[in-house]
Amino acid sequence: MPDGGELIIMGFIRGAVGVKGWVKIGSHTEYLDSLLDYPTWYLIKDQQRVEAVLETGKVLNNKELQVKFEDCDTRDQAEAWQGYTIAVPRADFVETEEGEYYWTDLIGMSVINHEQVVLGSVHSLLQTGAHDVLVVRGEHGEKLIPFVEAFVGEVDMNAKTIQVEWGLDY
């Protein structure tokens, strides 16, 4: 892994496709083709971690991502990758626009309401279609807070805090 940076899990290899070394991907990204932005992936399974370089990739019918790695030219070689987790270095992520955040950066941040009560920390996020939802867990139980301007104020990446308009009794 480059420079000891953090690897972020982005998906997994579902299996082989065809006979020329292609694999189909289960992606954890918002857009299927987002993984194609990263030319080098780290494939992880059990205690093994292998660097794989993308040769090419495509999205079929807006439903399935398929890729071919360099030096993977047969179905047998492709089948060997099934079950591997796909990770990329966090340092390789593209900078976000103002007010946009990668979910991985929000997880673990402290959530503090307008009364300066710590509601807990971000455990995960949910995608509902209308908007994303923060899943916050702490001593006050679990809170589901819509990640919209009406409820979420300042997100301080340096202090690792999110200010929210959310009461304890919500």
For residue range 38-87, what is the model confidence (pLDDT) as tens digits?
Answer: 999 999 999 999 999 999 999 998 889 999 999 999 999 999 999 999 99
Cα–Cα distance between 72 and 52 in angstroms, integer? Answer: 10
**Where are the CATH 2.30.30.240 domain residues in the chain?**
103-164
Q: Which helix (H) or strand (E) holds 104?
A: helix 103-106
Q: Are strands 22-27 and 7-17 parallel, antiparallel or unpaired?
A: antiparallel
Residue 124 has a pLDDT of 93
Residue 1 has a pLDDT of 46
Q: Are strands 161-164 and 110-113 parallel, antiparallel or unpaired?
A: parallel
For residue range 112-167, what is the model confidence (pLDDT) as tens digits?
Answer: 999 999 999 999 999 888 899 999 999 999 999 999 999 999 999 999 999 999 99
Segment 25-33 mean pLDDT: 88
Instruction: State yes or no: pLDDT of 5 exceeds 90.
Output: no
User: What is this structure's pTM?
Assistant: 0.75
Cα–Cα distance between 8 and 69 in angstroms, integer? Answer: 19
**Where are the CATH 2.40.30.60 domain residues in the chain?**
2-92
Residue 10 has a pLDDT of 93
- Residue 33's SS3 state is helix
Sequence-distant (≥ 6) Cβ neighbours of residue 6 within 8 angstroms: 89, 90, 91
Tell me the CATH number for domain 103-164: 2.30.30.240
We find that the CATH architecture of domain 2-92 is Beta Barrel (2.40)
